[in-house]
Structure 1
Amino acid sequence: MKTLYEQFQNVFGDGGEIKSFFSPGRVNLIGEHTDYNGGHVFPCSLSIGTYAIVRKREDSLIRFYSMNFEEKGVIEVELENLTYEVEHDWANYPKGVVSIFKQNGYRVTGFDVLYYGNIPNGAGLSSSASIELATSVLLNELNRLAVDMVEMVKMSQRAENEFVGVNCGIMDQFAIGMGKENAAVLLDCNTLDYSYSPVQLENASLVIANTNKRRGLADSKYNERRAECERALAQLQDHLDIQALGDLTIEAFEANEHHITNPVDRKRARHAVSENIRTIEAAKQLKAGDIEAFGQLMNESHISLRDDYEVTGDELDALVEAAWSEEGVIGSRMTGAGFGGCTISIVENQFLESFRKNTAEVYKEKTGLSPEFYVVEIGNGAREIKQLSEAL
């Protein structure tokens, strides 16, 4: 924090009250490709994320600076001229948040802000939503707006959808805004009903492994999968009174799957239904403290994503299968959109070193790529860091 304050003063000069904020990254423990199928997700916020050091201005100028993109220098914009500009690159995310706050009628003033993120780049841990929520909480605090967190979550999602033009669901922003230390949040993506389950891993840790495979197929396949699920749903709706695939039990699906005429669409729907049920069950098992049962559901999730949804690919499969063969691994699965990105595993602490070493060797042998490992903790959601601001 001291380094960030010093860098802020180097870039923007001394004087005025300087405040600091933190917004985490997130990982989804289970519940993949369920959000747009009317199902549940089960993410948690992480101890790594985005720091924002900020000072209010008395005029309408905003100056953005990122220590992760120092080559871009200071990006200046006027409050009255917030438009998407390609050359502003990363700064379009916080600009979008300011724009949505203004559209919603909130009065905001100019500010100087320095961002620093320690989320691994391109790992799929949601650095974009992290910077959006960091900006939301700093705007809320600097301008004394008293906006509640769920409203900030919705505005941050709108910034990404409408200003940046990325059609993301609400899970990332919700997990980052509403995260709780040592807990995961079971979220119904349709209603935004949510509940927390304590994540007490005792003598084990969450390990994120990055395949380091570029996710070239993810966007086009994502649209393809959505279309396949929509076709399956439409055929089921001719016979059932349902709004989404997430409304179905396994029994109801199996009794009616013959109505889905395309076998590929049928497989996609089977994943959406079974993954939603697995996710609800996983939250129950964690609440009951049964980590072994939770790990088994993680494994089943990966198999369904591999066989029924077909979004894993060689690299994710190689990394997960290497993990499954290691002693001390309670569960492992892909996390995120698929076709590259990351896996999430629960590993007993005494086997962490051998897990990293052996998994990396097997994975490299199969793919030629070297993975990166991050042992992560579950932290609180986006917030002001008051005690550190006061200490400095």
Structure 2
Amino acid sequence: MSATIDAAQVGADFTRTFGTAPDGVWAAPGRVNLIGEHTDYNEGFVLPFAIDRAAAVAIRLRDDSTARLVSSYGEQLVVEVDLDTLSHDTMTGWTAYPLGVVWVMRQMGIAIGGFDLYLHSTVPSGAGLSSSAAIECAVATAFNELENAGLSLNELVLVGQRAENEVVGAPTGILDQSASLLSTDGHAVFLDCRTQESSLVPLDLAAAGLLILVVDTKVTHAHATGGYAARRASCELGAEVLGVAALRDIAAADLPEAAGLLDEETFRRVRHIVTENQRVLDTVGVLGDAGPAAIGALLTASHASMRDDFEISCPELDLAVDTALAQGALGARMTGGGFGGSAIALIPVADEAAVSAAVVRAFADAGFTAPDIFAVSPAPGARKVS
């Protein structure tokens, strides 16, 4: 799968499918979360960056209330819905992401009528790289322009989050949409999830002779089910027992007292959030003072916390991290919601082939499905591309 979105090809595929040219093509990237996992819905800090893999949507407005949607994958069947009767029952499968955004924007009073939409994405699905947020942000950016809605980037972030929460049913925070919408080339986004304040942090990997290697374990996950919701519930319980609005308000110095008030499992969940927030702040400081070559230990400590305290890793993720570190990675961690998905490794550019080969061998020796391994670079956020 090519990482680069070919806007002209997406437009041509739209024309072939619907018999007319689109009004435009919009793209939004997936993301790697450099550090700060599950801290977003705890009103804490995160440090993601957009990657050079994206979702693109070609859209043409219609004069009726019909929406026709096609994805470039699978059987490429046209899904047709009446927007005037749009409901949770009619927003299913992959269409829940674009239609969820449309539903939210219509709820906000933005008069979106009928449209044709063609989707193509190079963000691997289920890999922990926010393929869903990429779709949501591309669609939100497109309709914000097509309907002259005038929403700010921060407002579009909340549109995407609301679609994810209320339509898809995934209790996620604002991390993914913020990365997809706010990023620029060569930078990570330092985001305060309580205030939505953000700043760009230089992440010039190439100048340091480094790259981020993504190891997609092929263990798929779904945020709308299972462990993600359970972890969020544990965090909310911890905050309630500790008498704070969110775990953002707990400091490391508070942890000994918290241990006496919480059951063992809830305490470990709380400890991860508290220490992870501090790791994000430390990483931002180190990047400013010493550059990306100095953040490896923080990445690795983050993985240990997710593995042991938050318990969202899996054998494939642990093997990817351990193998990369053994091959000389400066740091490595799982990224994303957990229970599968991807690991990242910060490595010298010259070591890419050796680290990749070692991980492939380790997976084969363990009897795991062969991983997909590729390098990513900090990329720009959502925008019109044609």
Q: What is the rounded CA distance, in whole Å, between the counterparts of 2:268 and 2:27 in structure 1?
A: 41
Q: How does 1:29-40 map to 2 (within 5 A)?
A: 29-40=34-45
Match of 2:63 among 55, 58, 65: 58
Q: Is the 8 A contact 2:317 2:342 kept in 1?
A: yes
- SS for the counterpart of 1:206 is strand
Distance 1:335 1:218 in 2: 17
Give 3-state SS (helix, strand or coil) of 2:178's partner: helix
Aligned residue type for 1:377: S
Given that 1:27 and 1:45 are in contact with CA atoms closer than 8 Å, whether structure 2 keeps it comes out as yes
> How many angstroms apart in 2 are the aligned matches of 1:216 and 1:172?
14
After superposition, the C-alpha distances for 1:283-338 in whole angstroms (9 at most, x for unaligned) are 121223422331110011011112222221222111110111013x1210011122
Does the residue aligned with 1:68 lie in a helix, a strand or coil? Answer: coil
Q: In the superposition, relative to structure 1, how do residues 68 and 12 fare at CA in structure 2: closer, same or farther (>3 Å)?
A: same
Of 18, 25, 37, the match for 1:12: 18
Matched, 1:106 2:107: no
141, 155, 159: which one aligns with 2:159:
155
Q: Quote the Cα distance in structure 2 between the aligned partners of 1:291 and 1:375.
A: 16
Residue in structure 2 matched with residue 204 of structure 1 by the alignment: 210
- Report the secondary structure of 1:310's partner residue: coil
**1:24 Cα shift?**
0.6
Q: 2:86 aligns with which of 79, 82, 88?
A: 82
1:14, distance to aligned residue in structure 2 (A): 3.0
Q: Could you give the per-residue CA deviations for residues 70-121 of structure 1, whole angstroms, max 9, x where no partner exists?
A: x151122233122234685211211111111111111223222211001122
CA contact (8 A) 2:331 2:346 kept: yes
CA RMSD of aligned residues (A): 2.1
- What amino acid sits opposite 2:284 in the alignment? A
Question: In the alignment, is residue 355 of structure 1 matched against residue 355 of structure 2?
Answer: yes
User: CA separation in 1, counterparts of 2:132 and 2:259?
Assistant: 41
* Larger Rg computed on CA atoms: 1
Question: Structure 1 pair 232/90, CA: closer, same or farther in 2 (3 Å)?
Answer: closer
Pick from 123, 128, 133 the counterpart of residue 129 of structure 1: 133
Seen in structure 2, the aligned counterparts of structure 1 residues 165 and 221 have a Cα distance that, compared at 3 Å, is closer
Equivalent residues of 1:43, 1:186 under 8 A apart: yes
Provide TM-score, normalisation by structure 2.
0.91
Q: How does 1:321-332 map to 2 (within 5 A)?
A: 321-327=322-328, 329-332=329-332
- Residue 32 of structure 2: aligned partner: 27
Q: C-alpha distance in 2, partners of 1:93/1:167? A: 14
Which secondary structure state, in structure 2, belongs to the residue aligned with residue 175 of structure 1? helix
Aligned counterpart in structure 2 of residue 192 of structure 1, from 191, 196, 200: 196
Distance 2:217 2:304 in 1: 18
In structure 2, the partner of 1:68 is 73
Look up the match of 2:368.
Answer: 368
The reply on whether 1:245 has 2:247 as its aligned counterpart is yes
Contact kept? 1:232, 1:260, Cα under 8 Å: no
% identity of equivalent residues: 35
Task: Sort the Cα spacing of 1:108 and 1:252 in 2 relative to 1 into closer, same or farther, 3 A.
Answer: same
Match of 1:229 among 218, 226, 235: 235
Unaligned runs of 5+ residues in structure 2 are: 1-6
Amino acid across the alignment from 2:214: I
Instruction: Give the drift of 1:261.
Output: 4.4
Residue in 2 that maps onto 1:267: 268
Q: Hey, what does 2:3 align to over in structure 1?
A: none
Once residues 61 and 86 of structure 1 are traced to their aligned partners in structure 2, the CA distance between those partners, rounded to angstroms, is 13
The change in CA–CA distance for 1:245 and 1:2 in structure 2 (over 3 A counts) is closer
Contact 1:63–1:112 (CA under 8 A) maintained in structure 2:
yes
Output one character per residue of 1:175-225: Cα deviation in whole Å (capped at 9) or x when no partner: 111122111111122221222211011211111101122448994333333
Which residue is 1:345 aligned to? 345
Q: 1:2 aligns with which of 2, 8, 13?
A: 8
**TM-score w.r.t. length of structure 1:** 0.90
